[in-house]
Amino acid sequence: MSKLSGGCLCGNIRYKILKEPLLAYTCHCRFCQKDTGTAHRSALATLNEYVNLSGNELKVYTYKSEEHGRQLYKNFCPDCGTTISLKTERFPERQVIMLGTLDDPSQVQLSTHMFAEEAFHWVEFPKDHIVYARHRINEDGTPASPIN
């Protein structure tokens, strides 16, 4: 049983995560840079069934990646614009929740980085973290080998 909860800036959207996350990671890809408007996105991955939303309905923006042709769905508060979660065409049973929207982000341990090859040049990775050049799962479904 997880005690993780969070919400958007204005408080009109709240959520609880009912089970411990599968993974927490930081993604340095260009999509995450553009979408967050900053250097990277930190998020936790969980199954859809473990996310309990309350309050207003999330608004969805659908983005089609030019790189792999699949769709990404960004879910945000229509009132304050905070991105709460992302869903993907590739992993429809999962979603990722933005770590910064948690009430207490210190409850989640993070040691995985993806898309290091697109990271801002000043980003330094902690020595004991696991770093992937691109996604941790290859296009053919096999696990990628970390570069650190």
Q: x/- binding map, residues 59-88, to Zn ion, per CB under 5 A? A: ------------------x-xx--------
Distance CA 101, CA 61 (A): 18
Using CB under 5 A, pick the residue from 8, 44, 97, 99 that binds Zn ion: 8
The stretch among 19-27, 47-55, 94-102, 140-148 that binds Zn ion (CB under 5 A) is 19-27
Nearest approach in angstroms of CB 99 to Zn ion is 13
* 29 near Zn ion, rule: CB under 5 A: yes
144 secondary structure, DSSP code: P
> Any contact of residue 118 with Zn ion (CB under 5 A)?
no
Residue 4's nearest CA partner among 36, 57, 58, 45 is 45
Smaller CB separation from Zn ion, 32 or 102: 32
Collect all residues with Cβ–Cβ distance below 8 Å to 105 and sequence separation of at least 6: 99
Tell me how far apart the alpha carbons of residues 48 and 142 are, in angstroms, rounded to a whole number. 23
Binding residue count for Zn ion, defined by CB under 5 A: 9
